[in-house]
Structure 1
Amino acid sequence: MPKRVASALNSRKVQTEQRPGLHADGDGLYLQVTNTGTKSWTFRFQINGRRRDMGLGPAAGTSSAVSLAEARQLAAQAKTLVRNGVDPIEHRTARQAATATAAAKAMTFKQAAEAYIDSMRSGWRNAKHASQWSVTLETYAYPEIGNLAVGAVDNGLVLKVLSPIWSTKTETASRVRGRIEAILDYAAARGAREGDNPARWKGVLSKILPAPGKVRRVVHHASLPYAELPAFWPKLQMQDGMGARALEFTILTACRTGEVLGGRWHEVDLDGRVWAVPPERMKSGLEHRVPLSDPAMALLRKLAAVRIDDFVFPGQREGVSLSRMVMKLTLRRMKVDVTPHGFRATFRTWVADTTGFAHELAEAALAHTIGDKTVAAYQRGTMFEKRREMMKAWAEFVTEPKYAMVVQLVGIER
């Protein structure tokens, strides 16, 4: 072993023999010692009139340290490449890239899907969204393409997933298609696949499958005709239980059942007569301010008197909200074939058929997104006060006996 390299590798030699710099071993191989004593191997070569230094790895101090014999072998291989006109640094970079590409292309569709979901999780509104992705993919996509290389997924395989459910579960199938498309785009960005996306609708699947709107059977939530609501209301008030009270509040506020059941007391401003549903509990992702009518306020005050935790409509166990099924069971017990959610349609039809309130006011009351700025305008300032007037009129229609009497008289005349 040349004296300089031998002395630099031997930690027992005097410090002058371990001085910083390059210590030649021969044939372009050097031991590089830094000012801090770190040692690494370098192969110095010249190609196309340009001198280059190629790192061969650490000489000591780590589990991946390269021995002198290994360094000489690596230098010899690099020197052969130089002799053949190949830059060993570029050759190594190309080989590493090829290895990374091969590893990426070995990624299965399921691995790509899981990686995509993890990467998007922090940007999604809640954990339920990620769970929905996983459940639909596990149910429909993974059995067919989950274990296949993501780069091998083509039109035929996508159709194999979608065709069995396109006509029978069109809405679900459309969501699965969109999720497969997003995952394949993600895989392409990662270098795991090439070419067009076989799950894309426009220009690809649109030529093979009928448009969702032409095959989807839209099943609306069963709703009560608004003319029957005033007579239904006193019967509902006669029902015992928290489910009946939650249904009353759902009707009076025209809110979604999930928003009502998840309601917390800290969201309610009894003095200001406003219920502010936070963005994370709204389908739109925007805060929804609900003006509270007199009947809604009276109901809340009764509930506040028996409050047991922060849920406005608590379940049987502390810290758990009331189950959605309880409202459905209330309606079933009353032998009324409608859904709790259907009362939103009842409200919307009542506004359109019997009042002069603007379409946008009703849409804002239902928290339908009609443009962020517009929604914000209707939820604040004078527009919010107009919504308060509308909800007051709605509550009067629902609760005052005179409207029920009018409906009964009309029924007699018929």
Structure 2
Amino acid sequence: MPQLTAAKVKNAGVGKHHDGQGLFLRVYESGSRCWVLRLTVDGRRREIGLGGWPEVSLADARAKAFEHRAAAAGGRDPLADKRRGDVPTFREAAKKVLDANRTRWRSERTAVLWWASLENHAFPIIGDLAVDRISQSDVLRCVEPMWATRTETARKVRQRIRTVLKWCQAHGYVQFNMAGEVIDGALPPMPRVKSHFRSLPYGEVADALAVVEESGASPSAKLCLRFTVLTAARSGEARNATWDEIDFNACEWTIPEERMKAASEHRVPLSNAALDVLDQAKDCHDGSDLVFPSPLKPGRPLSEITLTKILRDIGLADRATVHGFRASFRTWALEQTDTPWAVCEAALAHSLGDSTQQIYIRGDAYTKRRKLMDQCAQYLERP
């Protein structure tokens, strides 16, 4: 016969208070109360939490206990069943991984692209599956259709599925990572495709900038593109430049490490032409600290699409990209100047693994880089 009543549950002191057939109320010194069912499954004693009182009433606890005892009598493990109900879907697990990594990624764009790739290629197939129900064939269905034709996308999608399932492994939701080595044998070797950003011959860059100047783009966008070319910077580095990074006295632009691809601070010597661009950019000031603010969204930087649109509008989109101007700069520097290769790489903020080269770059290479940037400006401004 049951031993507990609603009144006894409410007034029970610290300790265990048995109701019968393995069900008992555990009362802690803090006053909190929780229901526990003790069962023997496959010869092993198990304790299953049924929830806290008063959220779970005495009647509710008895009903849950009855269900678990029936499951055990039928040969099932009630504790395993309970845990299975807590297993997230792939979409839910991916959201957890996204939230956990968002703060360490360099930009919100990384998070947007990460999620979009799963939304486009993984969620339609495995998004609503509990992660412990995902099989190798499910993962293959996500990546096989594009494995040979969209290799980079396929590689990223597999890597991101693998990352989510690795998180699930760490939390005990899955035993094996179905996007890991277990599917290697089912996928053919990925073709090695090296893509290059379209770039103009360096002899055409000055004329291209002249056409940009005559285009209908906003002053902020035109100045940003010109500054990008004159500094050999990446588009994002220039678009997100702030006035506190500019030292007019030292003629220098210091890009903080959190905005650099190599995650280390980068100093850019500014030529007179680059400084002139900055002087003109002051007229675009919108109250924020951005050097090149968006004319459409005050307080926000120009978008990459804005600069790309300039090239499209002047008919160069099929021959050049904004990033491609860095390739034009490198080719010009190696063919038209006597600048050492390591200095050219340093001007592009490329990481060099050799420690001797790193020491060299931190030393007198900066002086050589200033000379190189001045030469670049003179070349672009020639008649």
**Which bracket does the TM-score occupy, shorter chain normalised?**
0.7 to 0.9
Measured at CA, do residues 330 and 101 of structure 1 come closer, stay the same or move farther in structure 2, by a change above 3 Å?
closer
3-state SS of paired residue (1:192): coil
Match of 1:386 among 335, 343, 368: 368
**Matched residue, 2:72:** none
Alignment deviations for residues 14-39 of structure 1 (CA, whole Å, 9 cap, x no partner): xxxx9999999999999999989889
Q: What percentage of residue pairs aligned between the two structures are identical?
A: 35
Q: Distance in 2 between matches of 1:135 and 1:119?
A: 17
Match of 1:314 among 286, 293, 297: 293
3-state SS of paired residue (1:271): coil
**Matched residue, 2:331:** 349
CA contact (8 A) 1:223 1:343 kept: yes
More helix by share: 1
Aligned AA (1:339): T
Q: Distance in 1 between matches of 2:13 and 2:182?
A: 67
Q: Distance in 1 between matches of 2:81 and 2:134?
A: 21
Measured at CA, do residues 289 and 378 of structure 1 come closer, stay the same or move farther in structure 2, by a change above 3 Å?
farther
**Matched residue, 1:223:** 199
Q: Distance in 2 between matches of 1:152 and 1:42?
A: 29
Aligned AA (1:209): P
Give the 5 Å matches for 1:273-312: 273-304=251-282, 307-309=285-287, 310-312=289-291
CA contact (8 A) 2:342 2:361 kept: no
Aligned AA (2:238): V
3-state SS of paired residue (2:373): helix
Alignment deviations for residues 295-321 of structure 1 (CA, whole Å, 9 cap, x no partner): 111221232355343322232233233
Matched, 1:324 2:300: no
3-state SS of paired residue (1:275): strand
Give the 5 Å matches for 1:8-407: 62-64=54-56, 96=79, 98-105=80-87, 107-195=88-176, 197-200=177-180, 204-205=183-184, 208-213=187-192, 216=193, 218-234=194-210, 236-237=212-213, 241-242=218-219, 243-304=221-282, 307-309=285-287, 310-317=289-296, 318-336=298-316, 337-371=319-353, 380-401=362-383
TM-score by length of 2: 0.74
Aligned AA (1:320): R
Displacement after TM superposition at 1:63 (Å): 4.5
Measured at CA, do residues 295 and 167 of structure 1 come closer, stay the same or move farther in structure 2, by a change above 3 Å?
same
Displacement after TM superposition at 1:64 (Å): 4.6
3-state SS of paired residue (2:103): helix
Measured at CA, do residues 353 and 63 of structure 1 come closer, stay the same or move farther in structure 2, by a change above 3 Å?
same
Which ranges of structure 1 fall in alignment gaps of 5 or more residues?
Answer: 13-17, 44-53, 78-93, 402-414
CA contact (8 A) 1:261 1:313 kept: yes
Q: Distance in 2 between matches of 1:156 and 1:26?
A: 47
Displacement after TM superposition at 1:179 (Å): 0.6
CA contact (8 A) 2:202 2:331 kept: yes
CA contact (8 A) 1:113 1:183 kept: yes
Q: RMSD value over aligned CA atoms?
A: 4.4
Alignment deviations for residues 328-379 of structure 1 (CA, whole Å, 9 cap, x no partner): 4443454444222211000111222233323232222222233597897577
CA contact (8 A) 2:343 2:361 kept: no
Q: Distance in 2 between matches of 1:180 and 1:37?
A: 44
**Matched residue, 1:406:** none
Equivalent pairs counted in the alignment come to 356
Aligned AA (2:196): H
Measured at CA, do residues 144 and 228 of structure 1 come closer, stay the same or move farther in structure 2, by a change above 3 Å?
same
Aligned AA (1:220): H
TM-score by length of 1: 0.69
Measured at CA, do residues 367 and 42 of structure 1 come closer, stay the same or move farther in structure 2, by a change above 3 Å?
closer
CA contact (8 A) 1:289 1:379 kept: no
Q: Distance in 1 between matches of 2:174 and 2:48?
A: 32
3-state SS of paired residue (1:331): helix
Aligned AA (2:120): T
3-state SS of paired residue (1:289): strand
Q: Distance in 2 between matches of 1:100 and 1:228?
A: 68
CA contact (8 A) 2:227 2:274 kept: yes
Measured at CA, do residues 10 and 150 of structure 1 come closer, stay the same or move farther in structure 2, by a change above 3 Å?
closer
3-state SS of paired residue (1:111): helix
Aligned AA (1:391): M
3-state SS of paired residue (2:174): coil
Q: Distance in 2 between matches of 1:260 and 1:368?
A: 16
3-state SS of paired residue (2:122): helix
3-state SS of paired residue (1:123): coil
Measured at CA, do residues 188 and 212 of structure 1 come closer, stay the same or move farther in structure 2, by a change above 3 Å?
farther
